[in-house]
Each structure stands twice: as C-alpha cells, then as structure tokens.
A and B are shown apart, each in its own frame.
Chain A
Amino acid sequence: MALVIQRKPLSWLEKTYLPQILGGLKITLKHLFAPKVTLQYPEERPVIPENYRGVPTLVKDPNGREKCVSCQLCEFVCPPKAIRIWPGEIPENTETSHVEKAPDDFEIDMLRCIYCGLCQEVCPEEAIFLQDTFSVTGYTRDEFKFRKEKLYELGGTLPDRHYKWDKKKEAARRGNAH
C-alpha cells in the first residue's frame, strides 16, 4: 500500500528561514566549543584492534626458533603473488635440525600485497601473521620488497600454543616418531 506522507505546509515564520538559521547557528556554535576528535597522528597513534590486518610479518616462537618451514603454501595461495620464498635446509647437528627446512630468504612485495590475510590463514606452522603495522613508506620500489630480516624484525616473537617441534623431538627421543 502506498504510504502518502502528509507534509505540513510551512508556517509564515518558517518560510522566512530565520528561526531555522538561528537554530543552525546555535548548533554550530555548540560544536565550536565541543572537544575535538582529531588524532594528532605522528605523536598520537590510533588503537589497533586485535584482529587488524596490517603488514604480513614472520614470527619466531618464544624460544627464538624461526617458525617458517618454507613449505611455500603461502607463496602458492597468495592471490597477487606477492610472496617469494627461497627454501633452504637446516644444517645437521643443530638444535632444530629435525625441522629440516627453513627459508634461505623470504620476500614479500608490499606493493603487491593486498592484505587479504590468506597467507596467515594457510600457514600450517603459524609462522606468518598480519600484525599492527599499517604505514609502509619508501622512495623506491625495491624498498617495498621486504626481505626475511625485515619481516622477522617487524614480526617479533608471538606466544606459541603448541611447541609442535619441541614435542616431536621429545617424542622421537622416547622412540615414538609421531
């Protein structure tokens, strides 16, 4: 059913606009003295929510082990092909040699990345996270290609819930390979 809204004809006073103009002036005057909402950016930083998708970064576990095992799943899933991985071998007789692989080098092109978060989602090792860095600047295209070192620097250490490889090592020591 069509709804017809009855518009009241304007009263004489309303037709002069003046009361409305005065009302508007009152409102803007109130705002003139109201507290301001501006964030003084470089000095004040916005509060980044927990689930924010900033720059993708590589993280280490609390023992300082780099978590990425260069399985290259993220490289394959990345829609704009922003990730490039050079897989490498972990040398024998080290603390983590049972992990076998780690990236020799890892590159994310921040000019290509679309911050979709698929890499974080696909990673079986919980090694790559989109964290709170939201401002990336540089003068050349090359500066936007973040290499492994830079990615670990941005990523830092995140708490680990599993210590998967420590458990594996422990199990292997007790003679249970899996």
Chain B
Amino acid sequence: MDFITFLITVAKALAVVAVLMSFCAYAVLAERKVSAWIQGRVGPNRTTLPVIGSIPVIGPILTRLGMFQPMADGLKFLFKEDVTPAHVNRVFYVLAPVLALVPALVTVTVVPFGQYVSAAGEVVPLVLADLDIGILFVLAVSSLGVYGIILAGWASNSKYPFLGGIRGSAQMISYELAMGLSLLPVFMWVNAPGSDAALNLTAVVQGQQGWWLILWQPLSAFIFLVALFAETNRLPFDMPEAETELVGGFHTEYSSFKFGLFFVAEYAHIVIGSAVFTVLFLGGWHPFPGVPLQMEGLLGAIVSIGIFTSKVAALVFFFIWVRWTLPRFRYDQVMTLGWKVLLPLAIANLVFYALVIAAYDTLN
C-alpha cells in the first residue's frame, strides 16, 4: 500500500471516529433532555457560546435545546480533579477505561453506514473495512468491552466496584449466547443458496432491499434487542452500575477524565449497538420496507448516510426512552431471563427458521 492510500485510510478512520464521538456526545445530551422531558422538566438550556449564542433567533433556540452543553460536559471531565485512590492496582486501574472505550471504536470499522452507486451502476458500500466475517468481528470485539468493566471492578480494590464487575461478567456471558443464537437465523436467511453473503454486513443490508428482516424475523430482532440492552448495560439491565445498590458500580472509584471515558464508552456502545441493529434488522440505508434506495452518485451517498444515521438516532432515542420508563430487574431475574427464557427462545427460534428455510428451499 503506498503512502497516499495509507493517508486516505487514516483520514477516513479519523473522520468516522470523530463523527461517532460527536454522536456519543449528543447522545448524552439526548439522554439528559429526554429524561428531563419525560419527568416534566426542561433539561439543560443555559449553556451558550459567546458568538454563536448571540445570533438572533438561532442562538437562543440552540441554547434552549442545550446544543452547547456537550462541550461544557467534556471540559468539565477534562478539568476536574483526577483522584486515584491509594488502594487501587494502578496499571489495570488506568487500563480499564481505555479498554471500555476502544472496542466500541474498533467495531465501527466493519459497520457499513451508506452506499455509493457509481454511474455504471456499481455499488460501493461506505465502510472502513468490508470484512467477510463482519458480524463475527462485531460480536468478538464488542464483547471485549466487558473487560473494561471487569478490570475496573477488580483493580478498584473496593467492594462495590468488585460486585459490579462480577455482575458485568455474569450478565455478559448469559446474554452473549442468546445474542449469537438470535443472529444465526438472520445469516441463514441472507445466505440463501446462490448468494455469497457469508457473514458480511453489507450483504445483509443488500438482502433487505425488499422487506426488512425485522418483519421476516421479529423474534430474532426482539431477542437481539433485549440482549443488546443487556450487553450495553442499559436499564433495565444496568446490573454493573446499579447506582441505587452499588453506589456507581464498577466506576465508583473513578473520577474526572477516566470516568468520562467510561461514560462515553457506554454511549459509544449504544450507538454502535444501534448501528448494528439497524444494519441487521432495519434495512440499513433503505428508506422503507420494500422501497430500496436507488439514488446514484454523491447525492445518493449522502442520502444513504442520512437515512442510516436517522435510523440509528431513532434507536438511540428508544434506548433512552426505555431507560426512563422501566425499573431495574433484580439480579436473579436478569439471570433467569437470560438462561431460562431468552436462551431457549433463541434456540427455538433458530430451529423454527432452519425448518422454514429448509422447507422453502426444497419446495422451490
């Protein structure tokens, strides 16, 4: 690979990460705003910037919407006192927040977020790395994120983080199984005889030019979504954090920027999870079920990215909405749900779709 292509690749990667990070920042804002609205409050509406904030009409509206709040939040994390308790295991203590964030940023490489159709009708997916084993990569890397939680719990050398870390690992193991099994029917479906989709995520999107997979396989989508909630540690599954039981769970001993990393990592996982769900079940960048996107050139690329991000944004909103609606499960309920309900359900679902697909193939 020559130097120029290398530079272009780096630039692309940086751009994607930058977009992802600002998405995360605004997901935090969305969380604050939506939670406020649901509770009858107005949420952050004071933070403003000197010049932009004083533009008539637009400035006050942006301020009211809290659009400048993420910057203030970020700065706050940066400048707060960073307390490292004396009883921690320093190496792992510092490593943990990094380990929480990095997998989320790595997964984004294989998630296709748009398409570019050249004049010749050739379809180029917009993705950093169009791996054939895309979904395996996503599952493998994203589950590394839990190491951040476990390490944080362990290295903090204090009881609440420790409990949080243990809960995190147990929950992770329980739900990863159901998640993987719920995805098998999807790939059996996409890999109909004659297609060479393999485990490629772009192929899944292209396979949804007709109806979306959520309509064909609602149960798979449902199981995947529930497992996704558990994997991202969102309420009602926020066992590792459980601030009412475990103070702050795994990040109790963290402050300042390290805490900020955990915080961003949670939202990065949500955004990535939503993106993967969009790719697998919500038809990626195709606007409506049964209506594939057929625009060419640069405009088509921009529209496809726009459609994809708005679907992701809607899902992120759903995550937030659920969080401010449901109370937390008890720990044993989480385990029961994972092992006794979701796992059998996922297996039944798998067998059912295997039979349906086999029947369909033999009849044709």
Binding site for B on A (CB under 8 A): 21, 24-25, 27-29, 31-34, 36-38, 40
Contact partner of B325 (CB less than 8 A), chosen from A24, A34, A36, is: A24
The docked-state distance in angstroms from the alpha carbon of A34 to that of B39 is: 9
Q: Name the A residues within 8 Å of B36 (CB-CB).
A: 36
Closest chain A CB from B319 CB (angstroms): 12
Contact partner of B41 (CB less than 8 A), chosen from A25, A27, A28, A38, is: A38
Closest chain B CB from A39 CB (angstroms): 10
The docked-state distance in angstroms from the alpha carbon of A27 to that of B34 is: 14
Residue with the highest number of chain B CB atoms closer than 10 Å, among A24, A32, A38: A32
Find out whether the CB atom of B321 lies under 8 angstroms from the CB atom of A25.
yes
The docked-state distance in angstroms from the alpha carbon of A27 to that of B321 is: 11
The docked-state distance in angstroms from the alpha carbon of A21 to that of B326 is: 7
Q: Name the A residues within 8 Å of B324 (CB-CB).
A: 28
The docked-state distance in angstroms from the alpha carbon of A28 to that of B39 is: 8
Query: Count of A-B contacts with CB under 8 A?
Result: 35
Which residues between 26 and 45 of chain B lie within 8 Å of chain A, taking CB atoms? 34, 36-42
Find out whether the CB atom of A28 lies under 8 angstroms from the CB atom of B325.
yes
Find out whether the CB atom of B321 lies under 8 angstroms from the CB atom of A31.
no
The docked-state distance in angstroms from the alpha carbon of A34 to that of B36 is: 11
Does B322 interact with chain A (Cβ within 8 Å)?
yes
State the interface size on chain B (CB cutoff 8 A): 13
The docked-state distance in angstroms from the alpha carbon of A36 to that of B324 is: 16
Find out whether the CB atom of B42 lies under 8 angstroms from the CB atom of A25.
no
Which residue of chain B lies nearest to A27 when distances are taken between CB atoms in the complex? B325
Q: List 12 other contacts, CB 8 Å, given A21-B325, A29-B321, A31-B39.
A: A25-B321, A28-B321, A31-B37, A31-B40, A32-B37, A32-B38, A34-B40, A36-B36, A37-B40, A38-B40, A38-B42, A40-B42
Closest chain B CB from A137 CB (angstroms): 19
Whether A37 touches B38, Cβ cut-off 8 Å, given contacts A24-B326, A28-B321, is no
The docked-state distance in angstroms from the alpha carbon of A88 to that of B62 is: 59
The docked-state distance in angstroms from the alpha carbon of A8 to that of B45 is: 47
The docked-state distance in angstroms from the alpha carbon of A38 to that of B40 is: 7
Which residue of chain B lies nearest to A18 when distances are taken between CB atoms in the complex? B222
Find out whether the CB atom of B41 lies under 8 angstroms from the CB atom of A37.
yes
The docked-state distance in angstroms from the alpha carbon of A33 to that of B321 is: 13
Closest chain B CB from A50 CB (angstroms): 27
Q: Name the B residues within 8 Å of A21 (CB-CB).
A: 322, 325-326
The docked-state distance in angstroms from the alpha carbon of A24 to that of B38 is: 12
Q: Name the A residues within 8 Å of B326 (CB-CB).
A: 21, 24
Closest chain A CB from B219 CB (angstroms): 12
Find out whether the CB atom of B321 lies under 8 angstroms from the CB atom of A36.
no
The docked-state distance in angstroms from the alpha carbon of A27 to that of B39 is: 11
Q: Name the A residues within 8 Å of B38 (CB-CB).
A: 28, 31-32
